Structure 1
Amino acid sequence: MDERIIDVDGNEIIISVDGIDDMELSGLEIADMIIEEAEELEGDLIITAKYLNVEFGEVYPAEIVIEDGLFKEVIPIITDDDNELDLDYDGILIPGFIDSHIHIESSKLSPSNFAKAVLPYGTTSVVADSHEIANVLGIDGINWMVENGKYAPFDFYYAVPSCVPHSSFENSGALITSSDIEELLKRDEMVALGEMNFPVVLSGDEEVLRKIEVAHKLGKPIDGHAPLLSGEDLKKYISYGITSDHECTSFSEAIEKSRLGMTIMVREGSSSKDMDALLNYDDRLNYLIEEEMAGRAVVETIDDAMAVSPFEILVCDDIDAEDLSKGHLDNVIKKAISLKINPKEAIKMTTFNPAEHYGLNCGAIEAGRIANFSLVDDLRNLNVSKVWVHGELVVDDGEVLFETEAIESKPSIVLDEVKAEDFDAKMEMSWTNSLMDETTNVFAIKAFDKSLITEKSEETLIVRDGVIQPDLKKDVVKIAVVNRYGGNDIMNGFIKGFNLKKGAFGASVAHDSHNILVIGTNSEDMAKVVNIIREHQGGLAVYSSEEDLCEVLELPIAGLMSNRDIDYVADKNRKLMEAANKLGCNLTSPFTTLSFMALISIPHFKIINQGLFDVDNIEFVDLINNL
């Protein structure tokens, strides 16, 4: 077949000219063909470049046609010599990354500012569980997230929060019923039922089971949340149709869940860093050998088999602005590559696999899918130079090509000014020793760096004038939860693991109910921190009267998010970290770790505004051990 290239208004149009020389087509007919081709071309974006076919792990040159925000055609370019190719771009086009389990609120950024922060790193979509703002503001909070996200060229999908309130044991700001969830799940942007806390599922809570039934009726996947769950309890939990888990902290835990059919999300966030454990090379090798010996796997070469992760998806879950300012899923992928996962497989774990799990029409460069993609230098370094969303260029040479709108605050803190004595853990003195110090045994929380899991520790502390004293030599300091939703009730306790030597720090971010959490060496500084947070209608604060030190990040949006961009928030985060370090705290991410000390869906021992809580036994525990 003969072809002719004709220039029409700067566009090269290729038309078939078979038979023209024999006068089989008139000039008018040729003109009609040109017009038809021109009309088809109008509005299309055509790119020639090498691209990653992520489903099959192949890279080859192609002509990629985009129309109305979708990939219209992906036409391979057949050549024997890559050097002869005249392509539009050097490098490789890859699908836009999808963070399929994330809480945007944990970045302290609004959705639109979050999008602006992650797009330069190649992330074009998220599946966000907004149970943080939902526990504060309910459906109004979810709607606010959706509307704010529309100010950025970015695909926000949401998992409907399943646990609002988080529990019946504490005060929070809202209630979302099974009827509410049914209406929410009917919306296009709501693609799943959010993570289900295993204790309430296993208890057979009728309202929770109705929420699960609604998700099944509407054909939406159900996210799991089952740290350390195993054995028959795990099987029972999965039997409700819960399809994923992002809480695995060991290889054996992840494999058990995977064998029972769960999609495993390997988490690498600011505080919870599980990738080293879940993608440990020796564990994977031993597993592969066991699978082959049991006849469940056929291994042709060890290297090829080991290059494929036994788990499906990479996620961040919770990531703060300072970490986000240095990269997003690109860094997570590069870490997976460093653990001997093939780059194509690692990219697939953040593109094709999450899209398939949640039924999203993105995650691959193929006809009919949303045209979200990036240009990278190569598949190992993943240096992103350009990003397209729905076929529109939104990042060029690292520069974001749009601005976000001003953000309206969402105040949510109802609290009177607090006093220093509110943070004294008191007990009755015995009449025999009223003139001297006594001691008492208390239950304290034991926290660990880079982990959300805590332990219960028994500590002997001095009681002076009826007030239980911290012991800095033992690394036992004070912790308190302040009800921010009215009532001014305060629960005091003790914690170790933060190595705090002076002052106090606290936050209005305390998963999931988000009452104010404060940790300190003395009551005066703790009260000051809480009053600073109250004054700003939310925030993170570090204060020390001894050091004449005060740092604050204001979070006026529901006490969870800033109305500023990532540069401001990341800079404030760094200053807060430096301030906490100056007071002796040596944790990798002290505010993130602190925020989980009130999350009673994660083992083993936590504090909420109504008391100390034993997660394993689902019961309150007295501060003082009277046994």
Structure 2
Amino acid sequence: MDERIIDVDGNEIIISVDGIDDIEIADIIIEDAEELEGDLIITAKYLNVEFGEVYPAEIVIEDGLFKEVIPIITDDDDELDLDYEGILIPGLIDSHIHIESSKLSPSNFAKAVLPYGTTSVVADPHEIANVLGLEGIDWMVEDGKKVPFDFYYAVPSCVPATSFESSGASLTSSDIEELLKRDEMVALGEMMDVPGVIAEDEEALRKIEAAHKLGKPIDGHSPLLSGEDLEKYISYGITTDHECTSFKEAIEKARLGMEIMVREGSSAKNMDALLDYDDRLNYLIEEEMAGRVLAETIDDAMAIPPFGLLVCDGIDAEDLSKGHLDNVIKKAISLKINPKEAIKMATFNPAEHYGLNCGAIEEGRIANFALVDDLRNLNVSKVWVHGELVVDDGEALFETEAIESKPSIVLDEVKAEDFDAKMGMSWINSLMDETTNVFAINAFDNSLITEKSEETLIVRDGVIQPDLKKDVVKIAVVNRYGGNNITNGFIKGFNLKKGAFGASVSHDSHNILVIGTNSEDMAKVVNIIREHQGGLVAYSSEDDICEVLELPIAGLMSNMDIDYVADKNRKMRAAINELGCDLTSPFTTLSFMALITIPHFKISNQGLFDADKLEFIDLIHNF
């Protein structure tokens, strides 16, 4: 057999040439050269996201990294012989998300978002940490390793979030320092203990100091904070905020050095406010008058976002089945943000802020990237993670493993009378209905912010009654960690007409939260959640409605994939609509009624809570 030695870039290749013509030899040379030069070579147009330019290049990938990105100089695009039509963009990065809010495990979350071009997240696992502590965090990390996806984490800074509710675990400053030493932990998670930071609480400052010592950024959580208190909060090196609800609030924080995360999730949707065209225009006019606008025209300046990051924070499976950051970017574009700048907010910018070696198609960075049709429509056809093709024709090329359950609910069976808001013994023998004044939570669609409402309700046989005509229904929080204590209250804004619905998902401690028109259906909802060791339940004895999404993983996540969870979500929402509630994301909105770190009026298993005064208040009040 004849052999021929061929030199390829200084490397000798020995090939058999019996029966092979010169054309075939040339093909062999090319194939072997590609094997020598890198694991993968792609010739395509790509977005240089740092500088906002699109041009063709030969992209060489080796060992999961971009080895070379070689621009192709040409005067005629028609002469280009490209591997793919479309444009390669860096893999998208959601730099602030709580995976648990999707009701999916990390591995199933990754499989759900990869077809939309997301290849990395910075996840704050404080939901599961509040339930299971370090064990829960470790479980999240290990489950994420089963799939081709880059999970980075922010160490939960506030577990429990406050002392005004009961949770399943706690993380000390020593725990947090040890977690921050781990490579996958890239930041200290949102510092929700704003009063503690401002008051210079020793434990809060120890957590901050641990992050500084290890060179990890610190995420903020400071809704409506302003003035001197904001300045003091930021002075401790807190670098981000995702809770801004107005342009004015966001600009004040940005001017003080904060990186503003423009949030667009399932419940909290702040993009319209933060990227409002008129607000941005007035701001730019002020900046131009002060000589601080560098763009040649106002139109050019308006196309550049005033803030740096796009995030989801919390997104449910039903929304996630329709898209992820790709939809957030497209919405930013619809608000007159330059497409390249919008993509940069979910690629290069978060990578730079958190020190991630991804976010750009650039030599030495991790080869996470996607093929899209163009930069406006962002239709994703292929996705690579560490240089490996993981999505083709919009379909993930891998399967997820079965997920083990993580039981976490310690609760006796409840009774209907447990959900009666009672006046006391003096009312029981009353022969006629009386009235009393109560404080009620006033909830709003697509908002975490609530208000305190003053309501006059009827008392019958010593029990305060809801008033459906005034949209005032019952709400309760049940301690799921033992003790069986229950707080009863009233809420408006859900427009519930019959039945009840509830969940073992209620931020941040995730006690069982239930809302209803009557105590019997509320008790049934809680007992179903207890039976399944977690879940979402919609129930009405009047209409024989019972829909359940089981959440056996810490009462927060399903062990099923997105198709199952999204379908259950749709059925659940349809059932709740049948009960009269027409909120965009009723379960998501409900889950934040117990988030007592968000203004203004909330409920925990320990009582009704005034988040402004940081104190419990009585349900019954004389106005």
TM-score by shorter chain over 0.5: yes
Alignment correspondent of 1:47? 42
Give, in whole Å, the separation in 1 of the partners of 2:30 and 2:544. Answer: 75
1:417 pairs with 2:413: yes
1:255-270 → structure 2 map (5 Å cutoff): 255-270=251-266
1:595 pairs with 2:578: no
- How many Å apart are 1:432 and its aligned residue? 11
Alignment correspondent of 1:194? 189
Alignment correspondent of 1:277? 273
Which residue type is aligned with residue 550 of structure 2?
A: E
1:293-372 → structure 2 map (5 Å cutoff): 293-372=289-368
Alignment correspondent of 1:93? 88
Alignment correspondent of 2:118? 123
- How many Å apart are 1:299 and its aligned residue? 3.6
Alignment correspondent of 1:31? none
- How many Å apart are 1:41 and its aligned residue? 1.7
* CA-to-aligned-CA distance 1:395-442 (integer Å, 9 cap, x gap): 000111001111111000000000000000001265798211110000
**Equivalent in 573, 581, 584 of residue 585 of structure 1:** 581
Give, in whole Å, the separation in 2 of the partners of 1:8 and 1:39. Answer: 17
- How many Å apart are 1:454 and its aligned residue? 0.3
Alignment correspondent of 1:78? 73
Give, in whole Å, the separation in 2 of the partners of 1:214 and 1:363. Answer: 27
Give, in whole Å, the separation in 1 of the partners of 2:171 and 2:38. Answer: 44
Give, in whole Å, the separation in 2 of the partners of 1:436 and 1:261. Answer: 61
* CA-to-aligned-CA distance 1:338-378 (integer Å, 9 cap, x gap): 00000000000000000000000000000000000000000
1:168 pairs with 2:148: no
* CA-to-aligned-CA distance 1:518-553 (integer Å, 9 cap, x gap): 000000000000000000000000000001000000
Give, in whole Å, the separation in 2 of the partners of 1:326 and 1:73. Answer: 34
Alignment correspondent of 1:505? 501
Give, in whole Å, the separation in 1 of the partners of 2:518 and 2:438. Answer: 17
**Equivalent in 238, 245, 248 of residue 234 of structure 2:** 238
TM-score by length of 2: 0.95
- Call closer, same or farther: CA 1:402–1:36 in 2, change over 3 Å: closer
Alignment correspondent of 2:620? 624
- Call closer, same or farther: CA 1:108–1:36 in 2, change over 3 Å: closer
Contact 1:500 1:521 in 2 (8 A): yes
Contact 1:8 1:38 in 2 (8 A): no
Alignment correspondent of 1:184? 179
Contact 1:463 1:469 in 2 (8 A): yes
Alignment correspondent of 2:450? 454
**Equivalent in 377, 382, 403 of residue 381 of structure 1:** 377
Which residue type is aligned with residue 52 of structure 1?
A: L
Contact 1:394 1:400 in 2 (8 A): yes
Contact 2:293 2:301 in 1 (8 A): no
Give, in whole Å, the separation in 2 of the partners of 1:143 and 1:205. Answer: 28
Give, in whole Å, the separation in 1 of the partners of 2:428 and 2:462. Answer: 13
**Equivalent in 69, 78, 100 of residue 64 of structure 2:** 69
Give, in whole Å, the separation in 1 of the partners of 2:511 and 2:295. Answer: 52
**Equivalent in 29, 48, 55 of residue 60 of structure 1:** 55
Alignment correspondent of 1:112? 107
Give, in whole Å, the separation in 2 of the partners of 1:246 and 1:201. Answer: 18
Which residue type is aligned with residue 257 of structure 1?
A: K
Give, in whole Å, the separation in 2 of the partners of 1:321 and 1:399. Answer: 17
Alignment correspondent of 2:606? 610
Contact 1:429 1:465 in 2 (8 A): no
* CA-to-aligned-CA distance 1:300-329 (integer Å, 9 cap, x gap): 112111110000000000000000000000
Give, in whole Å, the separation in 2 of the partners of 1:367 and 1:175. Answer: 42
Give, in whole Å, the separation in 1 of the partners of 2:147 and 2:50. Answer: 28
Query: Partner of 2:594: helix, strand, or coil?
Result: coil
Alignment correspondent of 2:390? 394
Which residue type is aligned with residue 137 of structure 2?
A: I
- Call closer, same or farther: CA 1:421–1:349 in 2, change over 3 Å: same
* CA-to-aligned-CA distance 1:162-190 (integer Å, 9 cap, x gap): 00011111110001000011110000000
- How many Å apart are 1:586 and its aligned residue? 1.0
- How many Å apart are 1:576 and its aligned residue? 0.5
Contact 2:427 2:462 in 1 (8 A): no
Which residue type is aligned with residue 170 of structure 1?
A: E
Alignment correspondent of 2:211? 215
Contact 2:423 2:462 in 1 (8 A): yes
Which residue type is aligned with residue 41 of structure 1?
A: L
- Call closer, same or farther: CA 1:209–1:372 in 2, change over 3 Å: same
Give, in whole Å, the separation in 1 of the partners of 2:373 and 2:10. Answer: 34
- Structure 1 gaps of 5+ residues are 1-6, 17-33
Give, in whole Å, the separation in 1 of the partners of 2:213 and 2:31. Answer: 46
- Structure 2 gaps of 5+ residues are 12-28
Give, in whole Å, the separation in 1 of the partners of 2:324 and 2:90. Answer: 15
Give, in whole Å, the separation in 1 of the partners of 2:205 and 2:543. Answer: 52
- How many Å apart are 1:237 and its aligned residue? 0.6
1:154 pairs with 2:149: yes
Which residue type is aligned with residue 122 of structure 2?
A: V
Give, in whole Å, the separation in 2 of the partners of 1:454 and 1:13. Answer: 69
Which residue type is aligned with residue 83 of structure 2?
A: D
Which residue type is aligned with residue 209 of structure 1?
A: L
- Call closer, same or farther: CA 1:209–1:167 in 2, change over 3 Å: same
1:492-571 → structure 2 map (5 Å cutoff): 492-571=488-567
Query: Partner of 1:444: helix, strand, or coil?
Result: strand
Give, in whole Å, the separation in 2 of the partners of 1:531 and 1:203. Answer: 41
- Call closer, same or farther: CA 1:310–1:439 in 2, change over 3 Å: same
Alignment correspondent of 2:18? none
- How many Å apart are 1:80 and its aligned residue? 0.8
Contact 2:429 2:461 in 1 (8 A): no
Query: Partner of 2:169: helix, strand, or coil?
Result: coil
- Call closer, same or farther: CA 1:432–1:148 in 2, change over 3 Å: closer
Which residue type is aligned with residue 423 of structure 1?
A: F
Contact 1:490 1:609 in 2 (8 A): yes
Give, in whole Å, the separation in 1 of the partners of 2:481 and 2:328. Answer: 37
TM-score by length of 1: 0.94
Q: Percent identity?
A: 87
Which residue type is aligned with residue 409 of structure 1?
A: S
Query: Partner of 1:305: helix, strand, or coil?
Result: helix
- How many Å apart are 1:203 and its aligned residue? 2.9
Give, in whole Å, the separation in 1 of the partners of 2:407 and 2:316. Answer: 21
1:468 pairs with 2:464: yes
- How many Å apart are 1:389 and its aligned residue? 0.0
Which has the larger displacement, 536-545 or 287-296? 287-296
Query: Partner of 2:238: helix, strand, or coil?
Result: coil
Query: Partner of 2:74: helix, strand, or coil?
Result: coil
Give, in whole Å, the separation in 2 of the partners of 1:8 and 1:209. Answer: 67
Query: Partner of 2:593: helix, strand, or coil?
Result: coil
Which residue type is aligned with residue 567 of structure 1?
A: D
Give, in whole Å, the separation in 2 of the partners of 1:506 and 1:134. Answer: 21
Give, in whole Å, the separation in 1 of the partners of 2:170 and 2:262. Answer: 30
